[in-house]
């Protein structure tokens, strides 16, 4: 019976350790100051970046994706429908963001912010925030379908390498070219020279693309203006109905205005 107090003491210590160990493990995370010190070692992309297509193409047309036979047939139908009825403006009428890759191709500026374990790309267009996790996590095996996908990244020297999967099916590879749930966008972002960023996107989709589609966007540093508020629905006059999308000027059926460019 003399051993019972000792056993009880050991059990009490074990119970205490069960509560202490998680706290100790939590305390082993990188201190906040150290984590932000590591951020300062990343390449300096501070500022506002505007698209600079002329730096890439100089008036030359961008490359077009190579499509599978099924996707090509769907694209040909899209071209015929557009020629007969005009472009489909459902997404614009409902203020739907373009998602990737289109979001990075908008004629609006972006801003890139660093924090420990994450890079955030803010876009003026549609007031979007892309969260790219650089904390070592893996891509989800069964990702939810988001407009901008699910993103992880890592650094290879001064190049940010991003993997994106799981895209909302209402987004497009290019105008008139849909994608499947298998679409993947791999990005490489680097500073080509002082004041110029390059975002190279390689898009793959075995159900739509016959070959990887590579597209680039160049950005030039311009701090003349900050990123401005973008509220699509505030002044959106696009409406949709059985005849597709049109512009609603807020007029009654028997009203006209002298400078109405859409009046017959």
Whether 209 contacts 68, CB under 8 Å: yes
* Tens-digit pLDDT profile for residues 203-234: 999 999 999 999 999 999 999 999 999 998 88
Token pair 């074990």 in the structure block, residue: 14
| Whole-number pLDDT of residue 28 | 63
Coil, strand or helix at 82: helix
Average pLDDT over residues 115-122: 97
| Whole-number pLDDT of residue 59 | 58
Decide if pLDDT at 5 tops 60.
no
* Tens-digit pLDDT profile for residues 34-52: 888 889 999 999 999 999 9
**29 token code pair:** 């995370």
Closest residue by Cα to residue 140 from 165, 170, 168: 165
Query: Between 252 and 176, where is the model more confident?
Result: 176
Mean pLDDT rounded to a whole number for the chain: 84
Whether 69 contacts 117, CB under 8 Å: no
Q: Which residues contact 239 (CB under 8 A, 6 or more apart)?
A: 93, 245, 246, 247, 248
Query: What is the pTM (predicted TM-score) of this model?
Result: 0.78
| Whole-number pLDDT of residue 246 | 54
* Tens-digit pLDDT profile for residues 85-102: 888 888 888 889 999 999
């Amino acid at each position: 019976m003399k051993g019972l107090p000792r056993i009880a003491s050991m059990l009490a210590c074990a119970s205490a350790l069960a509560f202490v160990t998680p706290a100790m493990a939590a305390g082993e995370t990188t201190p906040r100051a150290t984590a932000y010190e590591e951020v300062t070692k990343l390449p300096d992309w501070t500022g506002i970046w505007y698209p600079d297509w002329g730096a890439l193409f100089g008036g030359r047309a961008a490359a077009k994706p190579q499509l599978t036979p099924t996707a090509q047939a769907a694209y040909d139908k899209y071209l015929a429908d557009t020629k007969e009825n005009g472009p489909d403006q459902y997404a614009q009428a409902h203020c739907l963001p373009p998602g990737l890759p289109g979001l990075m191709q908008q004629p609006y500026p972006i801003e890139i912010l660093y924090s420990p374990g994450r890079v955030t790309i803010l876009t003026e267009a549609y007031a979007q925030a892309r969260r790219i996790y650089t904390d070592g996590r893996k891509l989800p095996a069964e990702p939810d379908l988001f407009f901008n996908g699910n993103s992880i990244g890592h650094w290879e020297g001064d190049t940010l390498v991003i993997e994106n999967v799981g895209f909302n099916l209402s987004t497009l590879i290019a105008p008139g070219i849909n994608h499947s749930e298998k679409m993947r966008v791999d990005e490489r972002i680097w500073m080509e020279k002082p004041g110029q960023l390059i975002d190279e996107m390689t898009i793959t989709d075995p159900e739509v693309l016959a070959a990887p589609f590579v597209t680039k966007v160049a950005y030039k540093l311009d701090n003349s203006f900050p990123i401005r508020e973008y509220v699509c629905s505030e002044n959106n006059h696009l409406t949709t109905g059985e005849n597709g999308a049109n512009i609603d000027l807020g007029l009654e059926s028997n009203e006209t205005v002298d400078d109405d460019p859409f009046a017959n």
